[in-house]
Homo-oligomer: A and B are copies of this chain.
Amino acid sequence: MNSKPSIPSGTRDFSPNVMRQRNYVFQKMKKAFEIFSFEQIETPSIEKLETLTGKYGDEGEQLIFKILKSGNYLSQVKIEKSTNFKSLTPQISDKALRYDLTVPFARYVAQNRNNIVFPFKRFQMQNVWRSDRPQKGRFREFYQCDADIIGSNSLLAEVELIQLYDEIFDSLNLRNITLKINNRKILSGISEIIGEEDKIIDITVALDKLDKMGELKVKQELYDKGISEESVSSIFIFLNLSGANSSKIISLKDFLKNSLTGIKGVNELSKVVSQLEKINLKSLNLEIDVSLARGLNYYTGAIFEVVANDVNIGSLGGGGRYDNLTEIFGIENMSGVGISFGFDRICMVLEMFNLFPDFSELDSKVMFVNFGESESTYCLNLLKKLRSEGIKSEIYPSPSKMKKQMQYANKKNVNFVLLIGEDEITNNSITVKNMNDGSQVNVTFKQLISILK
């Protein structure tokens, strides 16, 4: 292969500069998860195909990356005229790459139920893979960061998770972020009131496309599903509710007064919102949005979505309450609520608004110039001492021309270059060149340490 190598579309290499940014966000998130007493788990990148199958709807299912069996995977396969890729796949593949962190988490809980302390507050920060068409902000391999509280139906869990969103976005200096909140029971209540109870899934799926397709097309989809014009009009009156959260609650209570489920949803929503208003969020705007639907069918209570108001990049995160997620793995009555952070999009927004710190200033980096064998041997001992003091330091590996060594130091954002030639060795000193202002001083090792710290 002599052509320039490349990586699969939708995947990325991360250079040292980008890694610093990603690690920065990663650490902020991890720290917040830990302060909130969430515990980290990791699950394998590869799950059994049967674990993932049937969990993500038809569209999602097609996006799962399947792994070919090892060895002679055709040895047990009979290929006939009727064989097509759908019938062949389960014969030649029994594993697939993780599609999200939620299903593996449910599988983990079911599998390890006897060793888990419930309510289980877990966080997980790992890659997921989807064979989606790549586009701006959408990749085939990307990070998800999830926090879930499972094994409790207390609404304090919702309150806790919204505070967690607030804490993390605040710590990243991301302002003007809105958390939209709704409740699936309210959507059920609306379907009930307009007499279309059995069409709740159609309604949810259609509403989920409001952002992308607009009101007209969503209305058409609802008509196509057999919902009357009158009903659709009623729905949209409520979707377009404006004003303060408290006045929305009042309107909803009135509209849904004849639906037990609907009223339950409004009460849950109201309780979470009023609890959060009492403790003051740092920077997150909390907005009841009855049009928020979230496509995933497993939500049964609160649903959330986070958007940056200043930029049209899609959601930065989302989540909700699920009462029956672990049921598919044989555990009933295990209500949970979870949120997800769109790590890659958050990084993009921070980059866009120039919100990353200047990493080159955060800690000093030091380089010894290499003047030759005897000098470098002398430097190796000093280098060892600097490193044991926790100072990032290195020696240029070969006695190249000074210009070349200085260029290296410059490009690598080295803050101080140390020059030790015969003179310095003789009088036991170090010449320190400050790379920011070009100044040079001759100091002892002790003085050097205090300059660097």
CB < 8 Å neighbour of A23 from B40, B119, B127 = B40
Given known pairs A35-B390, A157-B397, A394-B37, the reply for A115 and B15 (CB within 8 Å) is yes
Is B93 within 8 A of A397, CB to CB?
no
Copies, count = 2
Bound form: Cα–Cα A20–B20 in Å: 22
Given known pairs A2-B330, A7-B47, the reply for A34 and B392 (CB within 8 Å) is yes
Is B111 within 8 A of A37, CB to CB?
no
Given known pairs A4-B110, A41-B16, the reply for A65 and B68 (CB within 8 Å) is yes
For A107, the chain B residues whose CB sits under 8 A away are 5, 7
CB < 8 Å neighbour of A141 from B36, B44, B110 = B44
Bound form: Cα–Cα A89–B370 in Å: 51
Q: How far is the CB of A94 from chain B (nearest CB, A)?
A: 8
Is B393 within 8 A of A37, CB to CB?
yes
Whether, in the assembled complex, A279 has its beta carbon less than 8 Å from a beta carbon of chain B, the answer is yes
The stretch from A375-383, A418-426, A434-442 touching chain B is A375-383
Which residue of A85, A93, A163 has the most chain B CB atoms within 10 A of its CB atom?
A85
CB < 8 Å neighbour of A41 from B14, B152, B387 = B14
Which size class do A's interface residues fall under?
35 or more
Bound form: Cα–Cα A4–B326 in Å: 11
For A322, the chain B residues whose CB sits under 8 A away are none
The stretch from A69-77, A215-223, A249-257 touching chain B is A69-77
Whether, in the assembled complex, A452 has its beta carbon less than 8 Å from a beta carbon of chain B, the answer is no
Whether, in the assembled complex, A239 has its beta carbon less than 8 Å from a beta carbon of chain B, the answer is no
Per-residue interface assignment for chain A, residues 150 to 171, with 1 indicating a CB less than 8 Å from any chain B CB and 0 otherwise? 0011101101100100010000
List 24 interface pairs A-B (beta carbons < 8 Å), by A numbering.
A1-B50, A2-B330, A3-B330, A7-B43, A7-B44, A7-B51, A8-B46, A8-B47, A11-B45, A13-B43, A15-B112, A16-B41, A20-B40, A22-B42, A36-B394, A44-B141, A66-B67, A68-B92, A79-B83, A118-B408, A154-B397, A160-B394, A275-B380, A279-B384
Which 8 interchain pairs have the tightest Cβ spacing? A11-B44, A16-B39, A37-B394, A154-B397, A70-B131, A154-B398, A14-B42, A117-B411
Interfacial residues, chain A to chain B (CB-CB below 8 A) = 1-8, 11-16, 19-20, 22-23, 34-37, 39-48, 50-51, 62-63, 65-68, 70-75, 79, 83-85, 88-89, 92-95, 97, 107-108, 110-112, 115, 117-119, 121-122, 127, 129, 131, 140-141, 149, 152-154, 156-157, 159-160, 163, 167, 275, 278-279, 328-330, 365, 367, 370, 376-377, 380-381, 384, 387, 390-395, 397-398, 408, 411-412
